[in-house]
Structure formats: structure tokens, C-alpha cells
Amino acid sequence: MDFMAKAILLDTKTVNLLELIGNGKTFEVPPFQRDYSWTQENWEDLWTDAVALRANPDDRHYMGAVVVLNKSDRHFRIIDGQQRIATLSIFALAVIAQLNKLADSGVEPENNRERAASLRNSFIGQKDPVSLFESSKLTLNVTDRAFYQDNLVQLRAPLNPKRLPKSNRLLWECFLYFVKLLESDRSLALSGEELARLLNEVVARRLLFIQIAVDDEMNAYTVFETLNARGLGLSPTDLLKNYLFSRIQFEGDLAVMERRWQQLIATVRQERFSEFLRYHLLCEYRVIRQPQLFKLLREKVKTDKEALALMTALESRGEAFSAFFDPNHDYWAERPACKPLIRELGLFGVKQMTPLLFAAWEIFEPPAFEQVLKLIVAVSFRFNIIGARNTNELEPLYHDAARSVLAGSAKRPADVAAVLRPVYLSDDEFQSDFRHIAFRTQGARRRLVRYILCKLETRVGGRTVDWESDAGTIEHILPENPSAEWEDSFPAEFWDSCVYRLGNLTLLEANRNREIGNNAYFEKTNAYSDSGYMLSKALVERNPDAWTLARLEWRQEWMAKQAAQVWRFDGAD
């Protein structure tokens, strides 16, 4: 923390736009950082702020944090803030374009050209005295830099805007948007002095930024972790990517790396990349916390060869990572028995097993991989869903299992089960937890309850009942809103604690469920007896006359014994 204070707090200050970009400073967006993406909603917010400041001379407006990496005392790499700085640069270009237009139409031509030249030097860059080509204070990323420099900075319209890449098109539309607004305000459209004042006095001096300057990528990532915790929306994927690409020495390799990166991101998705990278590295390292990820990457990847090797390793696992969380992925067409197991893991919301899945996918034959999936489903249901145990235990053990598979010491699914034995709850532990479990049947938990009931129905009914497609509904034997007549058999003081117990739930056809409503138990029994669901038929066979707390307890204990047979892996005991 002391180091962080020196690296960040001493280099943090509040600046206006003119202070941020003045005194000969230049800024570059890392070559392969994300493209320009602001849209009219963002531009409109900026314009609204400018108009409000213009009407209230004593006001100031904060634009948030800008994080820059010091490359020299006057040259900086933008780590976060490129969208704001690029948009403000385009706003300045729109003002300059309007000043030139006024001069060309004969409105104070000499003064307005001088204003335009002065503002260009302050906000955009300087003209080369030999070529008369405008240089720029700002260099955008690979996709946007040429269009920004060759078209926007030169105030030269593209020949065919519709054929521009999306981000180039957004840059051009941003310019046109501000030009249109400047033209529509008569006090600005007819006065070069007011145009210059809007940019130089209002926007440049009264829009404020928190400038955070850091001296290396590690500090930049530390800043990201700090700011992201406050919801300022930085992207860890961008930072990780920029570091990897910074290791590449040759332009040709950069272009290849970019193509491979785009394909990888299309597979694993931008927002999940840092998660994917962490699980990939967890095959090698036993514990990695998210804040440690960037530091570990810096230690692991220092050369272009190491960066390219990491990219190759990630590519080999990217498609599998996508498939592990998508039951409709093409991978499962040839392994149909895996598809329902992937669906179940998705329902549980578990991810800690990913390193083991990587290892099993790469080393085991398909039947053995399927057995590992069954093991993980059993572990997850027992440990996570019913046991609700501390999940901090899972990742280290899944790492151990993955390493055992990759190293060849775990040759069979039973060997994997032996590694995971500490988190595979025994039948006694599992049934003890199951006897008391309750789930509310609203929202996401409703799907989980359907899943449990359908799996139990499949076991006791002798036919497969799919929890996603079956038309059955969840019936609360003791209703969610019981009538007074229920007090004769079920004490009212237990209603709230029992209505969502699994022993109080069953499957029933939708029409029968509607018919019986909140009726007393004896009025429901015919619907249960006539049901096609064995869970409901057996309910009446065991309890023909009344539903009581004791009978609910007995039924849930019976369900627990059935569940121990459904969610089990024989090699784990």
C-alpha cells in the first residue's frame, strides 16, 4: 500500500483540458486498444454539459479519471480515457471547421482564421512548415489513427462514409453531430468570438479531470483495480491485451497477433477473457486471485516468444472454454451424453471446475471425459447446492485434479475422484443437509427446484422427465397461502418454515394444479392420485388422509435417500 501511494497518489491531480493536453504534450492510444465506440448518447451528454457551463460561468464539471502511462515528460500513453479525449478533440475540430467556414464566407476572415490557427495549435497539433501537413497531439489505435489523422485533423471528408469501418464512421458522425449543433445555435453560428470562447474558455478550462499518471504497466493495472471497484468501467481485457502486444517487437508479428486475438475474443467473448485467462493459468498455478492476474502475466511473459506461446496455448483452449458453458455448442453434437451434464453445471452456476475440464478434455478419451463431467455434477450438487459449503476449498482441489491429469498420475476418472474426495460429501453428510433444505420457488431458484423434482421423478417413476422441457408444474402441498382449515392438520406456526421445504413440493400437471388451488389436502388427493407423476401418486399412497409436519419430515428424508442415489459418483466413495 505504501508503494501504491507513491505511485498513484503523488501523481494524481485535478486538471482542466487545457492543462491536460497543453505545454507540448502528446498522447497515444496503445496500438491495439479498443476502437472508438462512443455514440450520440455520449456526445449529447458532452454537449449538454458544455451548454450548461456556458450558461453558468461559475460552474465546473468533472469528467472523471484519466489514467496515463508516462513514456517521457511530454509523451503519454492513454490507459483509460481515450473515448473522452478523442471526443473532445473532435469537438475542437468542429469549432475550428466552423471558424474556417465563417472566414470563407467573409465574416471577420482575418480574425477567424487567426482564431482557428490558435485553437488548432492548442488543441489539435501543429502544421509542418515544409509539408504544411498537420501533425496531431493525439494518436489513436491501429484501426482509427489513419482516419483521424488523414481526414479529421485535415478537415477532409471521407469519399464514402458508409464504407468506413464502424469506429471510423462513429468518429466522422461525431464530427458532423457537433458541426450541426454549432450551426444550429445562432449565437455561435454567426460569431467567431463566441465559438472560440466556447472551446477555449468553457470546454477547455471548466471541464475537469482527475489525472492519474503512472510509470509502468503494473501500476496501471493497480489503478485499474482501484478505479474499477468504484464502478468507473475500465477494461481488464484491454490492459492485459496491451501488455501482451507490448512484448511483440516486429510490425508483422503485431498484425498476426491482432488477427489471432480477434479470433480468440470472438470465441471466448471480450467480457470473459480475463476469467478465461485465469482458469487457463490455474492449470499451472494452485491459487490466483483476480488482482494478481496482471502481475503473474508480467512475470510469465517477458519476450515476444513468450507472448506468442501464450497466445497459442490460449487458442488451443478457447473453443473448449466456450463449449463448457454452452450446452448448444457444436462440440456436444458428437458427444450428446455430455450435453445434459453441461446444462446442469450451467444451472448450478459453478465455474471452479474449469481447469479440470481443460485437462480432462485434452487427455481423456470421450467416455472418460463424460465420467469426469458426471463426477463434477455430483460434487457440485452435493457440495455447492445442497451442502452450501465454503467454495474457497474448490479451486485448489480442482487445480490439483487438473495437474494430476496433465501430469499423467490420474489416468482414470476414479483417480480424479480420489483427488476430489475432500469436497465430495458422503451420503450421510449429503442426506443430513438434504433433509432440511428449502428453496423459494420464485425467480432463478424455481428452475433449480424443477430440476431436482424432475431428477427425482426420473428415478422413482422409471421414465426420463426433462427439467427444461417437461410441462409439469411445481405444486406446494401445504399451499403458499393456506386457508384456515389447514390448521386442523398442520400447525400454523410452521407454515412459513415449511411451505418451501422440498418435502412439501411435488410435480403436477398444470390443469390439475389450477383446479386444486389452495384447497385443503383431502380436496387435492384425487388430483394427486390421477397424476402421471409418481412423486404425486406415491404421496397419496403414503398419506391418504392428511398432510402433517411429521409426514413432510418423513417424505423429505425419503427424498434425501433417493437423491443420494441420483447425484452420486460410485468411484468417489
Whether 83 has a pLDDT exceeding 80, the answer reads: yes
pLDDT for 235 equals 62
12 backbone φψ class: left, alpha, beta (φ>0; ψ -120 to 50): beta
Residues 317-366 have pLDDT tens digits of: 999 999 999 999 999 999 999 999 999 999 999 999 999 999 999 999 99
Residue 329 sits at φ, ψ, to 5 deg, of -65, 150
The torsion angle over the Cα atoms of residues 241, 247, 253 and 256, rounded to 10 degrees, is -10
How far is the first Cα of the chain from the last one, in angstroms, to the nearest whole number?
46
Residues 183-212 have pLDDT tens digits of: 998 888 788 899 999 999 999 999 998 888
Q: Given the DSSP bridges, would you call strands 26-28 and 138-139 parallel, antiparallel or unpaired?
A: parallel
pLDDT for 129 equals 63
Contact assessment for residue 219 and residue 243, using Cβ atoms and an 8 Å cutoff: no
pTM here is 0.73
Report in angstroms the alpha-carbon separations of 378 from 276, 445, 462, 511, 565.
24, 19, 21, 34, 10
Q: How many residues does the chain have?
A: 573
CA-nearest of 395, 533, 540 to 464 is 533
pLDDT for 293 equals 82
DSSP E strand boundaries for 1-73: 12-16, 26-28, 61-70
Q: Supply the DSSP symbol for 124.
A: T
Residues 277-297 have pLDDT tens digits of: 999 999 999 988 877 787 788
pLDDT for 403 equals 96
Residues 30-62 have pLDDT tens digits of: 877 788 999 999 999 999 999 999 999 888 888
- Candidate from 247-256, 391-400, 477-486 with smallest mean pLDDT: 247-256
With cut-offs at 50, 70 and 90, classify the pLDDT of residue 245: confident
